[in-house]
């Protein structure tokens, strides 16, 4: 009978061990993990109450969780009731000696289990705080078991204190040796789990720090994109949060796990990491003729030479006619000379204007530049050559912005480098989609994007969110070399036209507009002059919530759950319509 009873008891203990081992291994929330550790040890020892302490940087033990079944107490941890007890000093604040009179501190310092049969009979430890608690609550503390949480390198990372072991009939008894052995085993497992959890958190923090370092390096590379890599993640996460909260439309069932949100944030931080390979003079190209310096000054020098040569020609002709005694119309000749110089000045001023990037350059202006390029000047070798080189003509006739096609291709190539760089990193499973998300933020729904011309559902929804955030930040940025930051109304109009043209996801843009993400960001980062009045009714591509209906015309098909898992982010998407 005794053997059967013992076997049943041990079987029950092992079931408890198995249950909590699985729970501890799967838990991803630090607070819940601490609470599970205390619950596990409390259950396996039949303790009525328990407290879990963790060490602080101030050399004290902090009350993390307090449980008492008889009193119905649940303080700290996942409860809404905070713990008001002061931290326990591990060392005496006056003498700096070890606080061995407190049983929890003594356990932490020694790294050994301490088992007290009756707190009221103990002379070694000071239980005045316990006795005060008993008087105030009507409780009676008897048996006390204190267990250190020790990780693999022998460091004590916490203390569990249990009170009043109970028999099956509820009568208080001392903690039994076999219960202590099981508690010690479970505490060791819990300490390792907690250490691994903390290492995971530290790794995540380290990874985020490294991502921020890379983002800082990219931003610092150019004064003209100074905060882009930091602001894009902020807009991205604001929009992601709004997408998860939407209650209608095809995205209403879309939600991301905690890991999925980390993936999106990290992808947003690293979305431009490939720009480390982009030449600075291309990123910083503030004017069309800028390379290492602005070549407009070289053009200006040539025009000065043209004017000098015109003056020399005029003076030589005047001198020659004077020496030969020929009649010379000084005023007529002077007018011809002055007219030529005036034309040179006007044409150079025109080139200076064209050197500044704009949103659009008319073909008549491009034709005029080609005409000006026909001027001839005599270089240092005495050769007559065009006043503008072929490369200078190509740059001055750039129709939009300051970059030539080859320079744009060089800029766009950064996404290929981003994909290649991130693809070489061994991301943990829960972050494995970062490369795919970051590399797809320039893809367009209609397939006109790059680098892979993905379309529709081939583009991860996370990348669609990131893409809108990236374009919005770039349009409103006030530190670009060739333009001022655009006002909200113009920015939203441009985004809306991209939606209308099938480049950006309409459902995500609707959420962007519905939740006024643009205004939340603007109030924080944009100049007041950029925050103009926005008439949402006239923004192209946007369908106000009041006008939307659940018709197929307004639905962009989401990937099926199976396809999402096959492609990107499946396990990090908690719900997919």
**How far is Cα 472 from Cα 115, in angstroms, rounded to an integer?**
63
CATH 1.10.3210.10 fits 223-272+410-575, yes or no: yes
Strands 60-68 and 573-575: unpaired
pLDDT, average across residues 77-83:
93
Confidence at 224, pLDDT banded by 50, 70, 90: low
Judged by average pLDDT, the poorest of 13-17, 121-125, 357-361, 525-529 is 13-17
φ, ψ dihedrals at 163, nearest 5°: -130, 145
Closest CA to 474 of 466, 462, 418, 406: 466
Confidence at 561, pLDDT banded by 50, 70, 90: very low
Peptide bond into 451 cis (omega under 30): yes
Confidence at 13, pLDDT banded by 50, 70, 90: low
Confidence at 232, pLDDT banded by 50, 70, 90: very high
pLDDT in tens, 265-285: 999 999 988 888 888 778 778
Residue 553's pLDDT is: 43
Show the 3-state SS of 23-37: HHHHCCCHHHHHHHH
More confident residue, 313 or 433: 433
Look at residue 350 and tell me whether its pLDDT is greater than 50.
yes
pLDDT, average across residues 173-178:
90
3-class secondary-structure state, position 172: strand
pLDDT, average across residues 358-373:
92
Residue 568's pLDDT is: 54
Taking only Cα atoms into account, the Rg of the chain, rounded to an integer number of angstroms, comes to 37
Q: Which CATH class is domain 2-200?
A: alpha beta
Residue spans of alpha helices (H) in 271-358: 280-283, 296-323, 330-355
Closest CA to 172 of 133, 131, 126, 139: 139
Residue 505's pLDDT is: 97
Residues 6+ apart with CB under 8 A from 257: 571, 572, 573, 574
pLDDT, average across residues 231-246:
96
φ, ψ dihedrals at 255, nearest 5°: -145, 150
Closest CA to 187 of 383, 38, 5: 38
**How far is Cα 294 from Cα 464, in angstroms, rounded to an integer?**
37
**How far is Cα 326 from Cα 526, in angstroms, rounded to an integer?**
70
Q: Is 494 exposed, middle or buried (0-12, 13-18, 19+ CB in 10 A)?
A: middle
Q: Is the distance from CB of 269 to CB of 215 less than 8 angstroms? A: yes
Judged by average pLDDT, the poorest of 226-235, 435-444, 466-475, 550-559 is 550-559
Judged by average pLDDT, the poorest of 164-173, 210-219, 245-254, 552-561 is 552-561
For the full predicted model, state whether its pTM sits above 0.75.
no
Angle at 236 between CA 570 and CA 490, to 5 degrees: 135
pLDDT in tens, 514-553: 999 999 999 999 999 999 999 999 999 999 988 876 444 4
pLDDT in tens, 478-520: 766 556 789 999 999 999 999 999 999 999 999 999 999 999 9
Q: Which long-range contacts (CB under 8 A, 24 or more apart) does 46-49 make?
A: 46/165, 46/166, 46/167, 46/179, 47/145, 47/162, 47/163, 47/164, 47/165, 47/166, 47/175, 48/163, 48/164, 48/165, 48/166, 48/172, 49/73, 49/162, 49/163, 49/164
Residues 6+ apart with CB under 8 A from 170: none
Confidence at 39, pLDDT banded by 50, 70, 90: very high
Look at residue 101 and tell me whether its pLDDT is greater than 90.
yes
Angle at 242 between CA 240 and CA 248, to 5 degrees: 120
Confidence at 328, pLDDT banded by 50, 70, 90: low
Q: Is the distance from CB of 190 to CB of 43 less than 8 angstroms? A: no
Strands 88-89 and 114-116: unpaired
φ, ψ dihedrals at 436, nearest 5°: -65, -40
Closest CA to 249 of 512, 521, 561: 512
Residue 136's pLDDT is: 93
Residue 559's pLDDT is: 40
More confident residue, 51 or 225: 51
Look at residue 554 and tell me whether its pLDDT is greater than 60.
no
Q: Is the distance from CB of 503 to CB of 446 less than 8 angstroms? A: yes
Q: What is the mean pLDDT of the chain?
A: 87
Confidence at 556, pLDDT banded by 50, 70, 90: very low
Residues 6+ apart with CB under 8 A from 44: 13, 16, 17, 20, 179, 182, 183, 186
Q: Which long-range contacts (CB under 8 A, 24 or more apart) does 326-331 make?
A: none
Residue 280's pLDDT is: 78
**How far is Cα 143 from Cα 161, in angstroms, rounded to an integer?**
11
Look at residue 9 and tell me whether its pLDDT is greater than 60.
yes
Q: Is the distance from CB of 183 to CB of 45 less than 8 angstroms? A: yes
Q: Is the distance from CB of 400 to CB of 361 less than 8 angstroms? A: yes
Residue 295's pLDDT is: 93
pLDDT, average across residues 337-346:
94
Show the 3-state SS of 371-406: HHCCCEEECCCCCEEECCCHHHHHHHCCCCECCCHH
Look at residue 564 and tell me whether its pLDDT is greater than 70.
no
Q: Is the distance from CB of 468 to CB of 504 less than 8 angstroms? A: yes
**How far is Cα 191 from Cα 179, in angstroms, rounded to an integer?**
18
Judged by average pLDDT, the poorest of 319-333, 362-376, 505-519 is 319-333
Q: Is the distance from CB of 148 to CB of 107 less than 8 angstroms? A: yes
pLDDT, average across residues 314-329:
71
More confident residue, 572 or 124: 124
Residues 6+ apart with CB under 8 A from 476: 485, 486, 488, 491, 521, 522, 525, 526, 530
Q: State how far Cα 411 lies from the chain centre.
A: 22
More confident residue, 576 or 288: 288
φ, ψ dihedrals at 432, nearest 5°: -70, -15
> What are the angstrom distances between the C-alpha of 376 and each of 67, 389, 411, 539?
92, 11, 34, 50
**How far is Cα 514 from Cα 543, in angstroms, rounded to an integer?**
9
More confident residue, 378 or 570: 378
All structural domains of the chain with their residue ranges: 2-200, 223-272+410-575, 296-402
**How far is Cα 301 from Cα 295, in angstroms, rounded to an integer?**
10
Residue 273's pLDDT is: 87
pLDDT, average across residues 465-475:
95
Confidence at 205, pLDDT banded by 50, 70, 90: confident
pLDDT, average across residues 323-329:
62
């Amino acid at each position: 009978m005794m053997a059967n009873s013992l076997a049943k008891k041990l079987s029950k203990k092992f079931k408890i061990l198995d249950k909590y081992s699985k729970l501890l291994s799967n838990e991803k929330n630090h607070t819940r993990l601490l609470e599970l550790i205390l619950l596990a040890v409390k259950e396996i020892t039949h303790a009525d109450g328990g407290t879990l302490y963790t060490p602080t940087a101030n050399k004290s033990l902090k009350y993390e969780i307090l449980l008492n079944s008889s009193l119905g107490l649940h303080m700290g941890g996942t409860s809404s009731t905070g713990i008001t007890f002061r931290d326990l000093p591990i060392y005496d604040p006056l003498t700096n000696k070890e606080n061995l009179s407190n049983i929890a501190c003594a356990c932490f310092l020694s790294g050994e289990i301490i088992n007290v049969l009756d707190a009221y009979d103990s002379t070694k430890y000071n239980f005045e705080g316990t006795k005060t608690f008993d008087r105030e609550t009507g409780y009676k503390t008897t048996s006390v078991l204190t267990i250190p949480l020790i990780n693999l390198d022998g460091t004590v990372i916490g203390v569990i204190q249990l009170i009043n072991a109970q028999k099956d009939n509820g009568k208080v008894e001392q903690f039994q040796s076999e219960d202590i052995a099981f508690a010690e085993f479970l505490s060791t497992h819990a300490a390792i789990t907690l250490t691994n959890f903390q290492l995971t958190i530290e790794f995540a923090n380290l990874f985020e720090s490294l991502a921020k370092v890379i983002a800082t390096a990219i931003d610092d590379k150019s004064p003209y994109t100074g905060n882009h890599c930091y602001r894009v993640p902020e807009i991205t996460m604001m929009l992601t949060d709004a997408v998860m909260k939407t209650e209608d439309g095809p995205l209403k069932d879309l939600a991301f796990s905690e890991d999925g949100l980390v993936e999106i944030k990290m992808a947003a931080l690293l979305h431009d990491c490939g720009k480390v390979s982009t030449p600075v003079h291309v990123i910083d190209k503030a004017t069309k003729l800028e390379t290492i310096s602005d070549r407009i000054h070289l053009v200006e020098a040539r025009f000065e030479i043209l004017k000098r040569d015109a003056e020399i020609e005029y003076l030589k002709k005047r001198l020659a006619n004077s020496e030969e005694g020929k009649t010379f119309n000084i005023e007529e000749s002077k007018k011809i000379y002055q007219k030529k110089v005036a034309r040179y000045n006007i044409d150079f001023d025109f080139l200076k204007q064209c050197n500044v990037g704009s949103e659009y350059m008319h073909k008549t202006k491009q034709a005029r530049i080609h005409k000006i390029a026909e001027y001839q000047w005599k270089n240092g070798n005495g050769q007559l050559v065009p006043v503008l080189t072929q490369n200078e003509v190509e740059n001055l006739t750039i129709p939009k912005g300051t970059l030539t096609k080859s320079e744009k291709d060089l800029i766009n190539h950064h996404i290929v480098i981003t994909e290649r760089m991130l693809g070489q990193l061994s991301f943990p499973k829960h972050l494995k989609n970062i490369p795919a998300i970051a590399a797809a933020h320039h893809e367009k729904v209609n397939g006109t994007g790059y680098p892979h011309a993905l379309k529709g559902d081939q583009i991860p929804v996370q990348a669609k969110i990131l893409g809108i955030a990236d374009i919005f930040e770039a349009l409103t940025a006030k530190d670009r070399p060739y333009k001022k930051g655009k006002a909200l109304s113009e920015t939203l109009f441009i985004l809306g036209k991209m939606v209308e043209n099938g480049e950006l996801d309409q459902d995500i843009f609707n959420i962007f507009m519905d939740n006024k993400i643009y205004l939340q960001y603007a109030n924080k980062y944009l100049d007041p002059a950029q925050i103009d009045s926005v008439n949402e009714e006239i923004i192209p591509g946007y369908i106000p919530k009041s006008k939307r209906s659940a018709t197929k015309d307004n639905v962009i098909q989401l990937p099926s759950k199976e396809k999402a898992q096959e492609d990107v982010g499946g396990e990090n998407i908690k719900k997919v319509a």
